[in-house]
Structure 1
Amino acid sequence: MLVAILLIECVAFNLPFWRTLGASTDSASVANALGAGLMRRTDGMLTVVDPTRAYMDVKADGTSRYARVDASQPSVIAAAADNATTNPKLRTAFTLRADGDGHVGRMQLVSTGTARSLYLRVDAQSTIRVWIVEAKGTVVPLDAVRANVKVPFHVEPLRLAGMAAIALLAAAWRPGSRLWSIRLNPASRRQRLALALLLTPAAIYTIWSIVLHIRGAWPLVFHAPGSYTYDFDQYAHAADALLHGHAWLDLPVPDEFASASNPYDPAVRDRLLTEGVTPIYWDYAFLNDRWYSYFGVLPALLLFAPYQAIASAAAGRPLMLPTGAAMLALLFGVLVFGVLLTIRLVHRLAPHASLAAASMAVATLLLGSNAGYLWFRMNFYSVPFAASMLLTFLGLWLWLGAERTAKAGGIMQRHLWRANDRSETALSLPHLAAGALCIAANAGCRPTFATAALLGIPLFWRHIRALFADLAARRMSYRHACVPIAAVLAPAALVVMPLLAYNAVRFGSPTDFGSDYQITVTDMTRFRQPLANLPATIGYYLLLPLRVTDSFPWLGVNPTPLTTWGFAEPLVGGLFILFPMLLPAVALAAPRLRRRIAAPTRRMLVAALALAAALLLFDAYEAGLGWRYMTDFGWLIALAAMPAIVALGDGAERVGDSRHASMPADTTFGAHPQGARLRRLLGRSVLMMLLAATLIIGFLSAFVIGRQDAMINNDPQLFFSVRSWFIL
């Protein structure tokens, strides 16, 4: 395996090096002929004065299929960038087209910050003409074009790590992998140790990245004259307000804005901005002459405020927790409790499930929950989603572990509760209470996740039914009946009541979270999503197809036209298109599969699908079309997909409760009749293809140009570095 990876790295990804070993390297670059559409500045950079004649010519001798553009010195580029007023159209990433001997070449994005991207592939025997395909007035930091060049040999550690990860996943999930013959055993010390070792690199990466974020922290405030102020430290401001004992944010409010007839009207705001009124904060809530954050306050209270209080006291000056650092901590929690939740659920579904099937279920939850999107966009918009996902996974993990085998004796034993002496199972009151606390805490993060509490009804239905039946038959005292109810409601009230009071202090009503007062693209105090958009929005959320392009990353943003204007974030695809691994969830509709699942788990998974549908409808109507809103319901569909994943990988007979626990462990192919072996081979191959498609689409989606927080803007060096792997 290692040899194959090294061969791919040294040969396939370095083909340009081997192909240009015989290049003459002779170049008349110092004598590049400039087209009349380019003007050389005193600092050596070029200005496009006429796009129809903006080209550079250089002679070639045919010994190399590559040319190289030489960028201006970094000091020259930095000096020009610092003087933004005189260089408003300076571009360090721009589009070129290399024509060889009069034959039209292909467009290519290049970046002066990534040396590998400056090589242009072009076949020419005599002349290369490089066009600068940019608008009039654009300044490009190019010194010259060189022909007949050698492409240097390059070993890329990130690429090697990626290939190693692919090889490990392929080895783990291939149909004949030994992991298919090892039973998932949550009680095994060896498996627990293996899980801890697997999570260790993620923990190290998280800690290291948090340290880097904190050491390199700087205020994320951006303002341009005549425009809004974009302040991405919203959670840090909310924490600072809490530390100072008030609910509003300590941000300036211009008098003209406060006295405006309707500050929520975009036309009024545009007029004020034109008149130079500033700052007007984008996507902050404004009410009664004060700025507020309408995002859930709990992350500010539990993460940002403690850090800022301690760090500021230690440093002797105000310090803020970078949002990226908080997101890394939250996402690591999502990873840990997502894994634990999946293991517990899969073990309930199939006590003899294999490690391979369980690991595929873990991947399905982590990918299908849209956690990758949150990791990609680590700003304040993602904080409430990540916090709620962590709390929900933790809460459900606790609830799934609440049911215990009852022992002989009384009905109350060491924090266990059961309806009566005849009950075979009991409930752990600490698990009930802690799970309820976590799920209720979603009201202070992303409130839609609080609906996960409804999953407790089918999960504990037999205990609920026994409780009311015994009460009706007077076999249970009211005091005993109130114990589990209080274990759930008391912790929930403990966290929800202060949050409702916080809402009342800010916006005058316990149930008003402030989203109607946000300063955004429209007047949210009056706007409602048009019902006519609802069918299309739901369709886009689920099944928006991919738009394939002819250049890296070969995917593009797909248009999502609506009947009437409504919020629509640029999307690459719908949920089932981005995450094909969620498709097995539809198998839950099959009665044969459902009958094999123990009743409590079956009811919970069916309820999860129903809840996902309800949240999809809610988001489509209340929020519009947003990639991040898939997080509200994607994880629920991922849970519903797990029975089919186990059935496809291990066989349908493996799905079931403890009544099937006597079944022998899988010995991969040898212990089953020919038909069963073929079914397993086919099922495992299907799962591998679905996961591979999910990973490939997810990887390419990260590089799509036109999506929000596009990598080409936020991390151009990584974008152009990875792009060069595939285009040279």
Structure 2
Amino acid sequence: MQTSFERIRDLVVTFLRTHAREVNHYVRCAAALIAIALFLEIFVFNFNHWATLGYDCVNLSSKLTLQQNETDETYRITEADNVIEFSNLNKEVKNVRIDFDGNQSAQNVQVKIEFTDEGHETYFDSTEYSSGVPVRTVATNDDGTEYLKLNTTGLTNNLRIEITGEDVTYPIKIKAVYINNTYPFYFLGTRFLIALAVITFIYLFRPKSSIYRISVVESSRFSKACIFAANILEIYLVSVLLFTGSNLVGVATQAYNSGSWDPTSVITTFEVGGENSQQYARLAEAMSHGQLYLDEKPPEWLQEMDNPYDKGARDELQKATGESYLWDVAYYQGHYYVYFGVVPVIVFYLPYLLLTGGSFPTAVGVWIAAVAFILGCTALLHRFARHHFKHVSLGLYLLLQMPLVFCCGILYLVKFPTFYSLPIMMALAFSMWALYLWMRGRSAKYPLGCYLGGSLCMALVMGCRPQFILLALVAIPLFWRRYISERRILTKRGAVEFLCLIAPFVVVGVGIMLYNHARFGSFTDFGSNYNLTTNDMTKRGMDLGRLAPALFAFFFQTPTTTGVFPYIQAATFDTTYMGQTIKEVTFGGIFACLPVLWILPLAIRGVRMRVRSRSTHTTAGVIIVLLVAGVLIALADAEMAGILQRYFADFSIMFLLVVVLTVFILNENISHESMGFDIAMKILPALVGVSLAYSFLLCLVAETGWYSEAYPWAYQSIIHMFQFWT
């Protein structure tokens, strides 16, 4: 009798014999891609090493006039003595290496270099018409950043190095200063894998790739295996991004965030972000005590204010009394409340508190919701491809699934996995699963379970991010014909099915209204107007003047770029609106930054094709609802809250879903042998590639509160990894 191992071995051997040609082809392709990535890492990304191998290195330490430590033979740079100057070198200087002592505390310092050469008899700096030698950031614990390439003219005579920086801790220790040093060779596994991923993407999705000839329907098993592998990779990338920002995670082990680790536990959770970032945790504590307002008592001066929502007046009284107040919570009739959706507390925080007595780490909730969203997107698109658009290839499926996942704004939510991001992330996850279950229920023989599950997911959106409930309008084109036009609702079975569709909305809606009434005396008041924030929300009202700058920032503003990695910078913002505009940094509108959305104008043609080819107008209705919902949510965000980068995740998914449906329709109705289809398959991968590149680069932009601020020296190492030519 064969063992399990022997059966698996025989299956593998049989598969390899049966598909020997295909296996050999894929092995050769994989080997070629790996070889290209290796070549790039060894010879291109380490170009400076090979270019400087023949340099005659000179140690200038003997000319240093800095104070020297006799114990470790290092030189001290102090705030008063932070300039190193060498005269009469009379050498060709191609690079400078400042060898910082690796045993000192890690920090970033700013290095400003000036020199005189055959083209400059005096030190030169930036003028109205030219730029001088740029100031470089160097991490004192990263050898790779210590090498500074200089572009001098002929022989260099004098060399001046000034070492400064904000919040620099002195003294700074250096071991030596060299010129014309050979750059070290670094094989960086992360950079190699990124290069491999990029060239694999280019190879897989090139116009003539065989992946476009693999049908999702006809090659079901192989397609599912590839889609599963893509999901694993997507979840891995999201996980790396989230857990890299360790200062925002709130989880510690012996090897991760070890400074906050409790040696008696395998995993320790701790609060991050300060007192004003614990709203959900504090609400869970209040609920465990049987109350809906937070335990913390507002200061007397806040309770006595005529208008506690006036930030300027609050700040003056806080300064005068020395008593602080909670930021970004709802204040109503002498109590603090949490105005964010309550579902995250019920799903994560309250159960965790009751089971462990601790505070649930918000970042873990964001991660769970992100994984659920990725799987929901995959399930929904797979449903489209197998049951509604039968000619979808594996290549086209993956080419649309990736931007749907990565370009909808979740990467920015994962970058900042705070309590601000959690309700949006959960709303996205619930929305995708709601749409999937509804779609599955429409073709199921017994749809009651799918209808109940889908409507429950969509109803829970109200308790996460109320704006997302506009997506529930998709139910109108999905179910109108079946239950209204065909009058199925009048049959016993149809009435039960329709009841399953609406019952979760009624139950959840009533629960949320009672929750609102218990707090604010109103069934429809979520409490956001009572927010203690930058402006008086009770008097914000609706003003059409705020819409134009918001729509420009959300949709049409071009990104601000620079020649230094990660190339994207915060976009400038100007407005003629003569009132208060709530605005945080944004990085360009989605229509300008995500070229995959340039397909949207074809939606009109796609709708016409679908109407001509089908007797029903369901897909056309869904597309119209998605477009309208996306615009309305953006308008609502602008009026009710302001212009913030995380709000892009509220509406981007709507437009990306329209792109998916449009491409699927065109794929069904345009001949694959036509010139138009051939051109489209050349353009679409480029549009997707640029959109993905923008979305990932946005995650690496230095921002307040992120990894780049908490660990600037480590962030500098990331910058240097990509900017390898400097």
Distance 1:715 1:346 in 2: 44
The change in CA–CA distance for 1:151 and 1:28 in structure 2 (over 3 A counts) is same
1:264 maps to 2:309: yes
Shift of 1:351: 0.8
1:195 maps to 2:210: no
Contact 1:587 1:593 in 2 (8 A): no
Shift of 1:709: 4.2
Q: Percent same amino acid at aligned positions?
A: 23
Contact 1:504 1:510 in 2 (8 A): yes
User: Is the deviation greater in 251-260 or in 622-631?
Assistant: 251-260
Shift of 1:166: 1.1
1:645 maps to 2:676: no
The change in CA–CA distance for 1:581 and 1:719 in structure 2 (over 3 A counts) is farther
The amino acid of 2:530's aligned partner reads Y
Distance 1:230 1:556 in 2: 30
1:697 to 691, 694, 718: 694
The amino acid of 1:514's aligned partner reads G
Distance 1:62 1:518 in 2: 65
Distance 2:535 2:168 in 1: 33
Distance 1:69 1:510 in 2: 65
1:516 maps to 2:529: yes
- What's the CA shift string for 1:243-300, capped at 9, x where partnerless? 2322122335333333334332212221233235343222122223322221111111
Contact 1:541 1:630 in 2 (8 A): yes
2:369 to 330, 344, 347: 330
Shift of 1:325: 1.2
- What's the CA shift string for 1:693-719, capped at 9, x where partnerless? 1122223222334x5545521453453
Contact 2:101 2:141 in 1 (8 A): no
| 1:83-102 mapped onto 2 (5 Å cutoff) | 92-101=107-116, 102=123
Contact 1:252 1:279 in 2 (8 A): no
Equivalent position of 1:56 in the other structure: 84
Equivalent position of 2:517 in the other structure: 504
Equivalent position of 1:106 in the other structure: 134
- What's the CA shift string for 1:627-678, capped at 9, x where partnerless? 1112121111111111333366x46437xxxxxxxxxxx7xxxxx3xxx1x4
1:11 maps to 2:56: no
Shift of 1:494: 2.3
User: Is the deviation greater in 506-515 or in 204-213?
Assistant: 204-213
Equivalent position of 1:412 in the other structure: none
The amino acid of 2:464's aligned partner reads C
Shift of 1:387: 0.3
The change in CA–CA distance for 1:405 and 1:377 in structure 2 (over 3 A counts) is closer
The change in CA–CA distance for 1:574 and 1:230 in structure 2 (over 3 A counts) is farther
Contact 2:369 2:425 in 1 (8 A): yes
Contact 2:408 2:652 in 1 (8 A): yes
The change in CA–CA distance for 1:72 and 1:171 in structure 2 (over 3 A counts) is same
Classify the secondary structure of the residue corresponding to 1:47.
coil
Contact 1:20 1:63 in 2 (8 A): no
Distance 1:289 1:113 in 2: 51
The amino acid of 2:626's aligned partner reads A
Equivalent position of 1:422 in the other structure: none
Contact 2:283 2:338 in 1 (8 A): yes
1:629 to 647, 650, 659: 647
Distance 2:77 2:522 in 1: 59
Distance 1:197 1:458 in 2: 33
Equivalent position of 1:553 in the other structure: 566
Aligned residues: 643
Distance 1:254 1:186 in 2: 67
Contact 2:389 2:668 in 1 (8 A): no
1:160 maps to 2:192: yes
Distance 1:715 1:543 in 2: 33
Classify the secondary structure of the residue corresponding to 1:275.
helix
Equivalent position of 1:367 in the other structure: 406
Distance 1:205 1:533 in 2: 37
Classify the secondary structure of the residue corresponding to 2:670.
helix
Contact 1:55 1:132 in 2 (8 A): yes
Shift of 1:597: 6.3
The amino acid of 1:341's aligned partner reads L
Shift of 1:349: 4.6
1:720 to 701, 712, 716: 716
Shift of 1:365: 1.3
1:450 maps to 2:469: yes
The change in CA–CA distance for 1:207 and 1:19 in structure 2 (over 3 A counts) is closer
Contact 2:238 2:414 in 1 (8 A): no
Distance 2:294 2:78 in 1: 46
1:69 maps to 2:98: yes
- What's the CA shift string for 1:321-380, capped at 9, x where partnerless? 211111111111111111111222344552111111111121131133211111111111
Distance 1:276 1:119 in 2: 52
The change in CA–CA distance for 1:99 and 1:449 in structure 2 (over 3 A counts) is same
Length-normalised TM-score, structure 2: 0.81
Distance 1:248 1:187 in 2: 55
| 1:594-673 mapped onto 2 (5 Å cutoff) | 594-595=610-611, 598=614, 599-646=617-664, 650=667, 652-653=669-670, 672=673
The change in CA–CA distance for 1:196 and 1:129 in structure 2 (over 3 A counts) is same
The change in CA–CA distance for 1:699 and 1:97 in structure 2 (over 3 A counts) is farther
Distance 1:187 1:434 in 2: 29
Shift of 1:180: 0.2
Distance 1:494 1:139 in 2: 58
Segments of 5+ residues of structure 1 without an aligned counterpart are: 36-41, 79-91, 223-228, 313-318, 407-415, 417-427, 655-665, 667-671
Distance 1:646 1:58 in 2: 66
2:596 to 581, 589, 595: 581
Equivalent position of 1:143 in the other structure: 173
Contact 1:72 1:141 in 2 (8 A): no
Contact 1:29 1:58 in 2 (8 A): no
The change in CA–CA distance for 1:497 and 1:62 in structure 2 (over 3 A counts) is farther
The change in CA–CA distance for 1:352 and 1:606 in structure 2 (over 3 A counts) is same
1:130 maps to 2:161: yes
Equivalent position of 2:585 in the other structure: 570
Distance 1:33 1:543 in 2: 55
The change in CA–CA distance for 1:69 and 1:626 in structure 2 (over 3 A counts) is same
Shift of 1:447: 0.8
Classify the secondary structure of the residue corresponding to 2:331.
strand
Contact 2:391 2:668 in 1 (8 A): no
The amino acid of 1:236's aligned partner reads A
The change in CA–CA distance for 1:682 and 1:214 in structure 2 (over 3 A counts) is same
Distance 2:272 2:299 in 1: 17
Classify the secondary structure of the residue corresponding to 1:253.
coil
Contact 1:57 1:130 in 2 (8 A): yes
Equivalent position of 1:351 in the other structure: 390
Equivalent position of 2:678 in the other structure: 681
Equivalent position of 1:660 in the other structure: none
Shift of 1:175: 0.8
The change in CA–CA distance for 1:276 and 1:118 in structure 2 (over 3 A counts) is farther
Distance 1:267 1:534 in 2: 25
The change in CA–CA distance for 1:164 and 1:487 in structure 2 (over 3 A counts) is same
1:301 maps to 2:332: no
Segments of 5+ residues of structure 2 without an aligned counterpart are: 1-32, 68-73, 117-122, 125-131, 244-248, 258-267
Contact 1:529 1:566 in 2 (8 A): no
Distance 2:54 2:679 in 1: 49
The change in CA–CA distance for 1:201 and 1:685 in structure 2 (over 3 A counts) is closer
The amino acid of 1:327's aligned partner reads V
Distance 2:592 2:462 in 1: 30
The change in CA–CA distance for 1:259 and 1:150 in structure 2 (over 3 A counts) is farther
Equivalent position of 2:458 in the other structure: 439
